[in-house]
């Protein structure tokens, strides 16, 4: 009987760890040591030779209790549609290099397959920001983006879905 209980506890621990790992893997990847992630808006993207310089307006993308309390403080109402509230403390623009080989994904409509995170080149991102020819986005980049930065260079950029 003791072996059965120990076996069931061990099996439960493995199942819990497996479920936690599965759920964890569904989240966006964390930034490795020496890097950081920010949410915000691209305000300008310029190119000089092979280098891109991005002017970025950071914001706080909040959910849950954090979103409700922030919304209440800012608007007087704790009502948070879709459980997301973006806090725009200032509109100071920060400059980052955008690596020419940065991993960039935007949201596109794949018809019956729905919305897809579609990889694109930094050159196409440049055209999106500056009005050149590019694939049709599911929603404009004003929905916000997540960037992963190492020192002063964006290594990854992912568009945020906003229902």
Beta bridge partners of 57: 41
Q: How far apart are CA 92 and CA 130, in angstroms?
A: 20
121 in a structural domain: yes
Q: Are residues 22 and 36 in the same domain?
A: no
Q: Is the dihedral of CA 87, 33, 102, 56 positive or negative?
A: positive
Q: Are residues 108 and 147 in the same domain?
A: yes
Q: Are residues 2 and 44 in the same domain?
A: no
pLDDT digits (tens, 9 = 90+) for 40-96: 999 999 998 888 999 999 999 899 999 999 999 999 998 888 888 999 888 999 999
137 in a structural domain: yes
Q: Which domain holds residue 21?
A: 1-30
Q: How far apart are CA 59 and CA 79, in angstroms?
A: 19
Residue predicted with more confidence, 158 or 81: 158
| Residue 136 scores a pLDDT above 90 | yes
Q: Which helix (H) or strand (E) holds 117?
A: strand 115-120
Asked if 60 and 85 touch (Cβ cutoff 8 Å), the reply is: no
Percent of the chain's residues with pLDDT above 90: 58
Q: Are residues 106 and 151 in the same domain?
A: yes
């Amino acid at each position: 009987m003791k072996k059965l209980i120990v076996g069931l506890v061990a099996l439960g621990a493995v199942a819990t760890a497996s479920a936690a790992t599965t759920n964890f893997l569904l989240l966006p990847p964390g930034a490795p040591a020496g890097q950081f992630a920010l949410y915000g808006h691209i305000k300008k993207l310029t190119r000089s030779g092979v280098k891109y310089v991005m002017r970025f307006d950071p914001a706080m993308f909040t959910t849950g209790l954090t979103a409700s309390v922030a919304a209440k403080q800012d608007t007087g109402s704790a009502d948070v549609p879709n459980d997301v509230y973006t806090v725009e403390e200032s509109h100071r623009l920060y400059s980052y290099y955008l690596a020419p080989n940065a991993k960039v994904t935007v949201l596109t409509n794949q018809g019956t397959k729905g919305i897809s995170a579609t990889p694109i080149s930094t050159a196409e991102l440049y055209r999106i920001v500056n009005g050149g020819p590019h694939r049709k986005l599911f929603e404009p980049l004003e929905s916000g983006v997540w960037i992963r930065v190492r020192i002063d260079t964006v290594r990854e950029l992912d568009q945020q879905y906003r229902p």
